[in-house]
Each structure stands twice: as structure tokens, then as C-alpha cells.
Amino acid sequence: MNDPATAPASAQHPFNPRLVAGMIAAGIVTFAALMLLIAYGGGVGSGRDGRAHALSVSAVGFAGLVDLAGRFRTVQLVREDADLEGNNLLVVALEERSRPESVRQLLARREDRPTLIILPKWTTLPDPARPDWVRGVTPGAGDSAENLLPGAPDVMVTLERSQPTYVPGEGLLAGMSVPVARSPQTIEGDNVRPLASLPGGGKQGRGSLIAQLGDQPHYVVADPDLLNNHGLRNPEVARAALALIDRLNWGEANGVDFDLTVNGLGAAGSMSMLRLAFEPPFLAMTLALVAAALLAGLHGAFRFGPVRRTERAIAFGKAALVENSAGLVRMAERETKLGGAYADVVRHEVARAVHAPPSLDAGDLDRRLDRLGPRGEPGFSELAAHLAVARDRTRLMTAARALFRWKKAIIR
């Protein structure tokens, strides 16, 4: 049998240490990337879900407007609340699922800053063949905008077919022609200042396609077909959309921002317990735990001290055989039964050493051995008797040591 301690290094280390280290490093990087993807996945998705927001490529989405504006202006997708306070025109696409408190907070942060709000209009169903497309069902989603905007304005859809193709702009939009979609949606109210009105629209006969909310530079496009992907198929509508953005944007502004926070696609919309671990102030604790894990891994990867040899299950030599036999006797709890046998071994060993006649019987041999010991000390017979009557390990060892000393006194 080969000793493992003398085996070649290749047998003790079947794997290349560099390969193992590379696999561990790759696993750590992959796990970290997975955790980041899970934590921030809601904020970095494509947004192609058929909804009406700036990332959607469906008919009711506004990805086309983002692409169109990006050809002529600097475009930014706003995912963080801190970016809502820029001076560029902010385009906000509302949905039926939008929360009124989110809209009010956004308008409060955008005080005295140009903001364009696009109202919802179409109630849609997802397209089973294309998850990023929708199937239009009916207009009417704009009713929810009455609760989304401050002042609770009236929003209604005009279903009459005999509508003008264009309506003239007013005020800030003076001199501009605004296209009119089929079944246009209008808005009116006490806090609504018309910028492009539809004759005969609304309850008062003057509903607005585009309007301003109060005295703030907050504007509303009541009919999203003027800006969504479906409407931008018409070149006239696309030109009007660019002209509208330029009119509503400030002169010193250098771009157009598109909000995603109201649609739940911003950073706050994807916040989770896992993401909190990667955000201040919890980021410091996460880095400390990662550092502690790396130090623990390094501590376990490198050996300190000499290599400990692997011991054989069964050792070589007589000493090992005796030790194993003694271990079996101890396990069987039979030590006290071996006192007489040890006395017989000592008897025969001393008899050979003193050349006692082999014809002597046990009694004569014991009497002969009793005369050999030192005077005044117990003889062989007495010591052997102590071994025979010993019933516990302590007495057995005491009697065995006494008999061993007697033997050493005779055999020098």
C-alpha cells in the first residue's frame, strides 16, 4: 500500500489551482451581477409592455416621439426624482393606473418649469401575438384624468365625425395649426386656459385639445393621438408635434426630458429590500460584509503551518498490533480478566531466566520463585494472587506494576 504522504503532487492536487481560482472569481462576479440585475431590473427594463409611456412601441406609446425629438434635440429619460427639477421641457404621459398623488408631487416639483402632460385616452388589450403591441378597444380612459389633474377639470371625448382637419392655436401657440384626430378628446374647466380649441367640443361648446393649467407653465395635451406612435405615422402630425415641443420649451433649454417616474419605471418604482442594500446608507454595510467574506475566503484558501500527514488506518509493527489488541480489550471491558494471564507470562519468563527445571509443577515452581525475591518483599505467589483477585482497572494496574518490579529485580 502506498503512503499518501509520499504520493506525487499531481495526485494530491488533481485540479489546477489557477483554474479553481478563476472559476471562483467568475462565480463571484456572476453572482454579484445577478444580484444587481434583480435589484435594478425594474429600472433598466425595455418598457415594451404595450402601455402608454415614453418607452412603449405600441400604438398608444410614445417611443416614436422620443426618437423623433432625439433627432433634433437632446433627449433624456428621467428615472430619478432628483432629475425632475431641470429647466428642459418635461413630457409626462399619464395612464389610467397613474396615481393622483404622484402627479401632484411631480407638478409641485416642477413649479415655474415647463411641463407637458399627455392625458390617457384609449382602453386597450394586449396583443397575444406581440406582447409589446396592443389592440384598441374604445376611447374613454380619459375619464380617469379628472382625478389626476389639479382642479378636477372635465375631460370628454367628442365622437362626432364632422370635425375640422386643423384648428388654430391661441396664445402661446398663436400662428400654429394643430391637427385634429378622429374622435378627438378635449378638456375644459375653470383652471384650464385653452391653447387650441375644438369648435363645439366639450360641455360648454369650447373644449381644448391643448390647454394650460392656471398660471404655471404646465400644459396639457388632451388628445394623445397628437403625439403617440399611432398619430406620428402622419407626417403632418409629426411636424406639429415638433413645433409644439419647441413652442412650449424655454428659449434657453437645450433639450427635452421624458418622465418615467409617474409610470412606475423610475428608480423609486423598482425599489426593493435587495436594492436598499446597494443604496446609501446601507451600501457601507454591504461593502463591509463583502470585504469580510473575501477575507474569510482568503483565510481558508491559504495554508498556515506544515502539512499534516494522513495517518494510516492500521499502523505497521508489533507496537501497533499490541496497541490495537489493547484497544479491543478496553472496548470489551475485559481488562480485569487478564490478571492471571499476565502472572503466567511473568512465571514462564522468570523460570527460563533462572533455568528452573521444566519438570517442576506449578506449585513447586511458585515456591521456588518465592525464594528468589528480595527479603522482606512480597513473593511471586502473593503478587500473582493480587492480580487474580483484582476487579477494577486501578487495582489491576497496581498489582501488575508490583509484579513487574519484582521481575526486574530478578532479571537485570
- Whole-prediction pTM value? 0.58
**What's the pLDDT at 359?**
84
321-369 pLDDT tens trace:
877 787 887 788 777 788 888 888 888 888 888 888 888 888 888 888 8
Mean pLDDT of 167-173: 92
Residue 239 has pLDDT above 90, yes or no: yes
In Å, how far are 163, 189, 210, 322, 344 from 167, measured between CA atoms?
Answer: 10, 20, 11, 113, 129
Residue 3 pLDDT more than 90?
no
The answer on 240 and 331 residing in a single domain is no
* Domain span including residue 105: 47-271
Locate 223 and state its grid cell: 388628445
Distance, in Å, from the CA atom of 284 to the CA atom of 59, rounded to the nearest integer, reads 45
**Percentage of residues of the chain with pLDDT beyond 90:** 26
Q: Is the pLDDT of residue 261 over 50?
A: yes
Q: Is the pLDDT of residue 248 over 60?
A: yes
**In whole angstroms, how large is the CA radius of gyration of the chain?**
48
Alpha helices in 224-356 (DSSP H): 235-248, 273-276, 283-301, 318-332, 339-353
- 349 and 376 fall within a common domain: yes
Rounded Cα distance, 374 and 365, in Å: 17
Partners of 156 in the β-ladder: 186
Pairing of strands 154-157, 185-188: antiparallel
256 and 358: one domain? Answer: no
Q: Read off the pLDDT band of 47 (50, 70, 90).
A: low
Q: Is 303 left (phi over 0), alpha (psi -120 to 50) or beta?
A: beta
Q: What are phi and psi of 126, to 5 degrees?
A: -65, 150
For residue 257, is it within any domain? Answer: yes
Residue 256 inside a domain? The answer is yes
Supply 182's cell numbers: 378622429
CATH number for the domain spanning 153: value is 3.40.50
Q: Kindly state whether residues 173 and 247 are assigned to the same domain.
A: yes
179 confidence band (pLDDT: 50, 70, 90): very high
Residues 289 and 257 grouped into a single domain:
no
My answer on whether 339 and 215 are in the same domain is no
pLDDT for the residue numbered 89: 93
If asked whether residues 282 and 369 sit together in one domain, one would say no
Residues 289 and 200 in one domain: no
Whether cis (ω within 30° of 0) applies to the bond prior to 139 is no
- Is residue 233 a contact partner of residue 225, using CB atoms and an 8 Å limit? no
Same domain for 102 and 191, yes or no, is: yes
